[in-house]
Amino acid sequence: MDIIHYFTQHHAQLFYLIAGVSFTVELAVLGFSGPLLFFAIASVFTGILIHLGIISGWESEILTVGLLTGIITLLLWKPFKRFQNAGGGPDTSSDMIGKQVPSATQITHVKGHIRFSGVDWSARLAADCQVNIIEIDTQCIITGVDGNIMLVKPV
């Protein structure tokens, strides 16, 4: 028996497979951002409804997964985003965080450089910084890291 014939006869298993692939792509490629997560949850529920015999036929199954995706998205979008943005405590991704360093150039919200351990590092003002510019040779503190860019505030 080939795979296509199997899934045309076993719709619930097809929706479970779609959910598994969607979860995998969501976690591995999209980084748990949301869109496929809600679709995957809806696919699992649709598979359960098919398995229980509550719905049958491709049209009603596809309509069900679409409606459930919309409903689940409406119910879970804000809590999911709140969970993602909850933070997780202070940034400890670098041992440079908390160090006081001099600015090597003017530092703005867009660009600049600091000097640390004899090396000039790319820097910019932290998002919550109250000033718009840190002048050259001004002491600043590293508050975070964004890739290879140090986020700083004046001391």
Q: What integer pLDDT is reported at residue 5 of this predicted model?
A: 84
Same-domain pairing of 12 and 71: yes
Q: Where are the alpha helices (DSSP H) in 34-135?
A: 35-51, 58-84
Same-domain pairing of 106 and 75: no
Among 141, 145, 139, 155, residue whose Cα is nearest residue 94: 145
Same-domain pairing of 78 and 113: no
| Strands 149-154 and 113-116, bridge-based pairing | unpaired
| pTM for this entry | 0.56
| Strands 119-125 and 113-116, bridge-based pairing | antiparallel
In a domain, 92, yes or no: no
Same-domain pairing of 106 and 78: no
Same-domain pairing of 73 and 131: no
How buried is residue 115: exposed, middle or buried, by Cβ count under 10 Å (0-12/13-18/19+)? Answer: middle
pLDDT (tens digit, 9 = 90+) per residue, 78-94? 888 787 766 655 555 67
Domain encompassing residue 111: 100-154
pLDDT in tens, the chain (155 residues): 688 888 888 899 999 999 999 999 988 887 767 778 999 999 999 999 999 999 989 999 999 999 999 999 999 888 887 877 666 555 556 778 899 999 999 999 999 999 988 889 999 999 888 899 999 999 999 998 888 899 999 98
